[in-house]
Amino acid sequence: MVNFFLSLRRNLISRPVLKRVRRVLPPLSETEEQALHAGTVGWEAELFSGKPNWQYLHDLPKPRLTEEEQAFLEGPTETLCGLLNDWEINHERKDLPLEAWQFIKNNGFWGMIIPKAYGGLEFSALAHSSVIGKLASRSVTAAVTVMVPNSLGPSELLLLYGTEEQKSHYLPRLARGEELPCFAMTGPTAGSDAASMPDSGVVCYGDYQGKRTLGMRVSWNKRYITLGPIATVLGLAFHLYDPDHLLGEQEDIGITLALVPTETPGVQIGRRHYPSYQAFQNGPTTGQEVFIPLEWIIGGQERAGQGWQMLMECLGVGRSVSLPSMSTGAAKLCARATGAYARVRKQFRLPIGKFEGVEEVLARIAGNAYLLDALRTATTAAVDQGDKPSTLSAIAKYHSTMRMRETINDAMDVHGGKAVCEGPSNYLANSYHAIPVSITVEGANILTRSMIIFGQGAIRCHPYLLKEMQAAQNPDEKEGLVAFDQAMFGHMGFLLCNFGRAWWHNLSGGRWSPAPEAGVTVDYYRQLGRMSASFALVADLTSLILGGELKRREKISARLGDCLSHLYLLSCLLKRFKDDGQPREDIPLLHWCGQRELYLIQQTLDEILANYPSRPVGGLLRWVLFPWGRRFGKPSDDVGRQCAALLLSPSSSRDRLTAGVFLGSREKDPIARLEEAFKTVIAADEANKKLRRAAKERGLKSLSLEEAVSRGVISEVEAKLAEKAEKLTWEIITVDDFTPEELSGEQVLRREQILSGG
């Protein structure tokens, strides 16, 4: 009987639907297919399910460094930061000093991801990320120089795919810094669409070390390659062809990755780009018909043609660590420095941080720094438990760099002219210059938001979508129909459950949405569960309505991606607050970030519905999602004031928020000087108040320190403190200036020349 109904269902319902799906479903390209299967799926699938299992989130490891990792952070990383002067690096030397290069090499900075068995440091993703974050708070050039060999490139590819021979040759040399790697994929015509690279190799016999050898004749024209100008080994991506069938039947073998020593005849490196005034080594590389043996393919001959899949697999890990760490380091620096500056700098006789306009910006800086660290630690936790998070890493890359941009812009605004005027004592402008680099690399941001986050995330995370697509593409009609029928009816049940869940939770304001704990976070868990159900419903219906068309409808895909991203950011926030032991002092940060993320989720859903591809479905969804209208507001002014206050005086919360920022020494480092001024100004507050009061009583504008001491208004100790605070404040508000010759060298034009035109 059951079989009868099942067969009726298949033939009457599933078969015609399958027929239509087969007709409208655009075929997936090989590279899309590989991207879809690369990496792992984790917490994002819970968010897609509409009823997240909180245990999964809480089971992700807490961020804890081992003793060895902590010692590396406090030892060699701190020392390296002390060797760096970003002004000198980027504007004078246009390179790191030799001492810093040697230090990086001798202390294993390039081997953080290489196992100890090969001589590397074998650090966790968290430790690796903490090192990059600290370096980024001191010098973008140094952070990039350390980051690249530990990110997507030769070491990671060798670890995952290298032959034993390749691993034992290269990995110890890379760990010791005897080899300097780079990875060359991008070219003039193949940027975001990297898989379209025209660089090619042809399988042939050639001469290698005097022997007739089976190899490839490779030609390439790559640009923007970080460390390329000085690399000793080039990780090279090219399209391999075998027209003479020397390897087998296939002529078009596909994208292939090889390790090419740069001393190989024909390899051109050395010229440099100068990206956004940053002095890290970056440049083009070319080669014309360079013969390389087949064994240089990463993983050997059997990996020929698997390059794209290998890259996609690795991308998730590198993308989880590199730019989220750099962005967090920069945001923490902004939080620490801007709060201090806003306390030291006075206008209208008040610290500028006390004005509501500045306070609002400070709150955003504090909130972003808190949230970015939450994002960084949750994402590296996933990597440390063995995930290769493809969607979460795209979210982390996009949102960390965008929030970093927002934070640096805010910090620049609060500093005013102090951050605008360049020079050795400007500790912000360089991070500002570097913003577009982070936005562009590892998947340019517009593309990441519009195509990757939801486009790939939906298919990967949805419990049935990929199964339906695979069933529709199954060449075996019968097997395809059975699989499609199962997936389609599962999908319908899933959709109906989320419809009911979203309707009920939105109607009841999320009051009965399950939460794993009571207390200050309970409502955020409930609202996150409620919003997850709303998102799952909208995502599902939109995918059904648009099908393959969704790929071209980037605006809606981007907004759905934003919604998923804000759900993830809110999850990271809750995890961080729990992992930190729910400190009372951090509650304003929890509220500011939580309220903002809920507001952004609501805004994104509202925008999706306002532009929905089907008016009736859009109307129905609005009724389900917003039965009482839009209820979430932006973070309240009161919460904002409390967050800003955390930056304006020393506290454990400020230290937690900015942990890992390099402060340095008073003699050499502007941040250390700012920190000293900040503490001294606060310590001298009481004395200054007494001085002001005494002057007011006497009808004077001000009272000299000597007079105040002689009249007993303040003690000698207080007078010294007030004097020191004034001196340090003066140091901080001072900006660099230069002689015309210092700025322009030989090119200086005299005023007379300018006026006379000759």
Q: Is 322 in the site for ligand FAD (CB under 6 A)?
A: no
Four-point Cα dihedral 448, 449, 451, 454, nearest 10: 120
Contact status: 183 vs ligand FAD (CB under 6 A): yes
Using the contact rule CB under 6 A, the part of the chain among 424-432, 446-454, 566-574, 644-652 near ligand FAD is 446-454
The tokens for 673 are: 């000087």
Q: How far is the CB of 16 from ligand FAD (least distance, A)?
A: 34
Residue 617 binds ligand FAD (CB under 6 A): no
Give the residue, chosen from 53, 107, 192, 409, that forms a contact with ligand FAD under the rule CB under 6 A. Answer: 192
Is 226 a binding residue for ligand FAD by CB under 6 A? The answer is yes
Catalytic residue list contains 88:
no
Q: Which of 204, 214, 446, 495 binds ligand FAD (CB under 6 A)?
A: 446
> What single DSSP character describes residue 40?
B
Task: Choose one: 178-186, 423-431, 643-651, 687-695; the region binding ligand FAD (CB under 6 A).
Answer: 178-186
Contact track, ligand FAD, 537-576, x by CB under 6 A: -----------------x----------------------
One residue of 25, 65, 230, 444 binding ligand FAD per CB under 6 A: 444
Closest CA to 39 of 353, 382, 305, 362: 382
Residue with Cβ nearer ligand FAD (227 or 294):
227
Tell me: does residue 32 bind ligand FAD (CB under 6 A).
no
For residue 601, state whether it binds ligand FAD (rule: CB under 6 A).
Answer: no
Least distance CB 440 / ligand FAD (angstroms): 5
The closest alpha carbon to 413, from 367, 473, 503, 353, belongs to 353
Which tokens go with 64? 């804890």
By CB under 6 A, name the one of 61, 191, 266, 509 that touches ligand FAD.
191
Using the rule CB under 6 A, is 216 a contact of ligand FAD?
Answer: no
Q: With helix as H, strand as E and coil as C, how does 261-323 read?
A: ECCCCCCECCCCCCHHHCCCCEEEEEEEEEEEEHHHECCCHHHCCCHHHHHHHHHHHHHHHHH
* Residue 352 near residue 12 (C-beta atoms within 8 A): no
Q: Does 185 bind ligand FAD (CB under 6 A)?
A: yes
Q: Which residues contact 297 (CB under 8 A, 6 or more apart)?
A: 256, 257, 258, 303, 304
Residue 651's nearest CA partner among 425, 336, 269, 324 is: 336
| C-alpha span between 680 and 676 (Å, rounded) | 6
List all residues 6 or more positions away from 492 whose beta carbon is below 8 Å from its beta carbon.
none
Side-chain-side CA neighbours of 78 within 13 Å: the count stands at 12
Report how many residues bind ligand FAD under the rule CB under 6 A: 21
Query: Dmax over Cα atoms in the chain, in whole Å?
Result: 105
Which among 400, 355, 402 has a CA at the least distance from the CA of 379? 400
Restricting to residues 480-509, name those near ligand FAD by CB under 6 A: none
Which of the ranges 44-52, 414-422, 443-451, 709-717 carries the binding residues for ligand FAD, by CB under 6 A?
Answer: 443-451
Tokens of 326: 């750099």
The string of DSSP letters for 178-229 reads: SS-EEEE---SS-SSSGGG---EEEEEEEEETTEEEEEEEEEEEEEEEETGG
Q: Does 647 bind ligand FAD (CB under 6 A)?
A: no
Q: How far is the CB of 105 from ligand FAD (least distance, A)?
A: 19
Residue from 72, 87, 170, 224 in contact with ligand FAD (CB under 6 A)? 224
Q: Is 90 in the site for ligand FAD (CB under 6 A)?
A: no
Q: Does 155 bind ligand FAD (CB under 6 A)?
A: no
Output 63 or 318, the one with its CB closest to ligand FAD.
318
Select from 77-85, 186-194, 352-360, 580-588 the region that touches ligand FAD (CB under 6 A): 186-194
Pick the piece of the chain touching ligand FAD (CB under 6 A) from 45-53, 436-444, 531-539, 674-682.
436-444
Out of 41, 121, 225, 331, name the contact with ligand FAD by CB under 6 A: 225
Within its chain, how far is the Cα of 484 from the centroid?
A: 37
Q: Does 275 bind ligand FAD (CB under 6 A)?
A: yes
Q: Which residue of this chain has its Cβ atom nearest to ligand FAD in the complex? A: 191
CA-closest candidate to residue 201, choices 236, 158, 166, 152: 236
Which candidate in 69, 122, 359, 442 is catalytic? 442
Closer residue to ligand FAD in complex, CB, 197/342: 197
CB of 755 to ligand FAD, least distance (A): 41
Task: Give the SS3 label for residue 519.
Answer: coil
450 binds ligand FAD (CB under 6 A): yes
Q: What is the DSSP letter of 394?
A: H
Q: What are phi and psi of 426, to 5 degrees?
A: -85, 115
Q: Which is nearer to ligand FAD, 157 or 725 (CB)?
A: 157
Select from 606, 637, 689 the least CA-distant residue to 351: 689
Q: Which residues are catalytic?
A: 442
Give me the residues that bind ligand FAD (CB under 6 A), please. 182-186, 191-192, 224-226, 275, 282, 437, 440-441, 444, 446-447, 450-451, 554
